[in-house]
């Protein structure tokens, strides 16, 4: 198991600052948004090399192409599929083995129909991953809409089992499951054969005072309550228990904390995870 940081939710964060921040917190493994690879007109190959020269290895590309977001025209769906496939092929060319993805929120009223549609839409992207020899990851989504294809454990498992492909695996984010009202610990045994990446962040009910004091923190409108991202170990998500399940199961992949671009909360999160025993 190796400790890393995900900046997948911050495609506009200057990579100069990202590299500097990672040096300050002594982390060398990073997940970044695919769009960040072309900042300042750089070619993706040059960006990866530039980061490597500064002691930073890109281990995962994060994408946010909403394949299942709406009942869009076929041409629009194909464009989104091509965007994700292009990111997959790029990862293969750059020697980056993981590509994280999301289903996108859906206008459909029930998850059953959303899952059916998502399975069909992601199919060519799974084929692209197989061809590129890259692992396409499906992350359980923090959005709580009833028609979200990747909100519930049962839906994520249905998608993964439908393809039964080693090129399609799961990014396990217990805080996302917790926020969506799912049980990330009870479901771990069923999910474990598919887990190839992990995000360990934390969330807490956000008071008006917290929002005012921390305007740069991410927060989400979960059902009947507003929840804010907080450093791992400082919120309500079962971070410690999830890490222990990963460790006891023999998980050997990356554990990335998120979602901060400020040194102080990021350092607190990493200190907590290192205290649990995450190496790196």
| pLDDT, mean of each 10-residue run, the chain (280 residues) | 94 93 96 94 96 97 88 86 98 98 81 91 97 97 75 94 96 92 95 98 86 79 76 95 98 95 93 94
In a domain, 175, yes or no: yes
Instruction: Tell whether the torsion through CA atoms of 191, 193, 196 and 202 is positive or negative.
Output: positive
Query: What pLDDT is attached to residue 50?
Result: 96
Structural domain count, the chain: 1
In a domain, 56, yes or no: yes
In a domain, 216, yes or no: no
User: Rounded to whole angstroms, how far apart are CA atoms 191 and 118?
Assistant: 19
Q: How many CB atoms lie within 10 A of CB 277?
A: 10
Cα-based distances in Å from 124 to 18, 93, 139, 215: 33, 18, 18, 39
Query: What pLDDT is attached to residue 109?
Result: 72
In a domain, 220, yes or no: no
In a domain, 219, yes or no: no
CATH number at residue 126: 3.20.20.150
pTM: 0.93
**Alpha carbon of residue 93 to chain centroid:** 21
In a domain, 65, yes or no: yes
Query: What pLDDT is attached to residue 201?
Result: 95
Cα-based distances in Å from 251 to 11, 122, 151, 242, 260: 28, 26, 23, 11, 25
Query: What pLDDT is attached to residue 147?
Result: 74
Scored b (16 or more CB within 10 A) or e, 63-87 reads bbbbbbbeebeeeebeebbebbbeb
Domain boundaries, position 81: 2-201+235-276
Query: What pLDDT is attached to residue 228?
Result: 86
Strand segments, DSSP code E, in 102-224 are 135-139, 168-172, 195-199, 202-205, 219-222
In a domain, 8, yes or no: yes
């Amino acid at each position: 198991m190796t400790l890393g940081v995900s900046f997948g939710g911050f495609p506009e964060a200057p990579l100069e600052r990202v590299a500097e921040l990672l040096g300050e917190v002594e982390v060398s493994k990073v997940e970044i948004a695919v769009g960040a690879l072309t900042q300042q007109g750089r070619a993706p190959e040059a960006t990866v090399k530039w980061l490597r020269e500064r002691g930073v290895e890109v281990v995962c590309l994060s994408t946010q192409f909403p394949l299942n977001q709406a009942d869009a025209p076929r041409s629009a769906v194909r464009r989104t599929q091509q965007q994700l496939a292009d990111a997959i092929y790029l990862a293969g060319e750059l020697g980056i083995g993981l590509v994280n993805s999301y289903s996108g929120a859906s206008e459909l009223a029930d998850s059953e129909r959303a899952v059916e549609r998502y399975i069909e839409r992601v199919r060519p992207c799974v084929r692209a991953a197989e061809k590129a020899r890259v692992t396409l990851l499906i992350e359980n989504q923090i959005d709580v809409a009833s028609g979200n294809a990747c909100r519930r454990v049962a839906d994520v498992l249905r998608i993964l089992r439908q393809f039964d492909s080693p090129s399609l695996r799961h990014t396990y984010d217990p805080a996302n499951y917790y926020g969506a009202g799912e049980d990330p610990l009870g479901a771990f045994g069923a999910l474990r054969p598919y887990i190839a990446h992990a995000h360990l962040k934390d969330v807490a009910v956000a008071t008006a005072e917290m929002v005012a004091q921390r305007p740069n923190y991410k927060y989400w409108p979960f059902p009947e309550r507003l929840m804010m991202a907080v450093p791992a170990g400082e919120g309500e998500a079962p971070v410690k228990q999830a890490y222990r399940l990963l460790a006891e199961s023999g998980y050997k992949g990356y554990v990335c904390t998120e979602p901060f671009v400020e040194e102080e909360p990021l350092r607190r999160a990493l200190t907590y995870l290192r205290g649990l025993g995450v190496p790196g």
